[in-house]
């Protein structure tokens, strides 16, 4: 199975795969990572009113859970980082949005910045994407993309 092979029939019936595939958003035929990042906004909206320590704690827990979750789904699909696995995009967006003022403009900008870094994959994102395998490898490149986007977004927030 290749990175873009359609998800097998009935695969979403397994709750592990349902989560890893972003509640089905990763099954869209075009731009599943973007669809998964949109689901990340749905996670962010109820979390944005949390205190920083709680927000970071929840995000870390979702990251660690994602290492296992994405690893299981990748093994069952037989592909290291199938394009439909988008839990990493969901968590990557949450990393991007850490300590950002609750304003729709920052949500939109955070979405765009995260997608740019996730697609562009500047060093070390591309290196991590190719060298680290399993669930950690799936999650790690989006962690770094989220940190890059977070830095740029925080600079913009500070300058405004």
Taking the C-alpha atoms of residue 7 and residue 142, their distance in angstroms, rounded to an integer, is: 22
Distance from chain centroid for Cα 138: 9
Each residue's pLDDT tens digit, 18-49? 999 999 999 999 999 999 999 999 999 999 99
Domain boundaries, the chain: 32-159
Tell me how crowded residue 123 is: count the other CB atoms within 10 A of its CB: 8
pTM for this predicted structure: 0.95
Taking the C-alpha atoms of residue 132 and residue 84, their distance in angstroms, rounded to an integer, is: 18
- Sign for the CA dihedral angle at 136, 140, 141, 143 comes to positive
Q: Are 132 and 140 in contact (CB under 8 A)?
A: yes
Q: Is the pLDDT of residue 1 over 60?
A: no
- Percent of the chain residues past pLDDT 90, beyond the cut: 82
């Amino acid at each position: 199975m290749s990175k873009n092979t359609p998800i097998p029939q009935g695969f979403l019936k397994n709750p592990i795969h349902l989560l890893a595939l972003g509640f089905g958003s990763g099954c869209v035929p075009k731009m599943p990572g973007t669809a998964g990042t949109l689901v990340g906004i749905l996670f962010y909206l109820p979390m944005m009113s949390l205190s920083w320590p709680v927000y970071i704690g929840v995000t870390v827990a979702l990251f660690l859970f994602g290492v296992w979750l994405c690893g299981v789904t990748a093994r069952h699909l037989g592909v290291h980082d199938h394009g439909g696995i988008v839990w990493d995009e969901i968590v990557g967006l949450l990393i991007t949005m850490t300590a950002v003022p609750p304003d729709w403009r920052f949500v939109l900008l955070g979405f765009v910045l995260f997608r740019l870094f996730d697609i562009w994959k500047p060093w070390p994102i591309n290196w991590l994407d190719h060298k680290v395998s399993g669930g950690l490898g799936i999650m790690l490149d989006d962690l770094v993309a989220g940190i890059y986007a977070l830095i740029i977004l925080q600079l913009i927030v500070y300058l405004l």
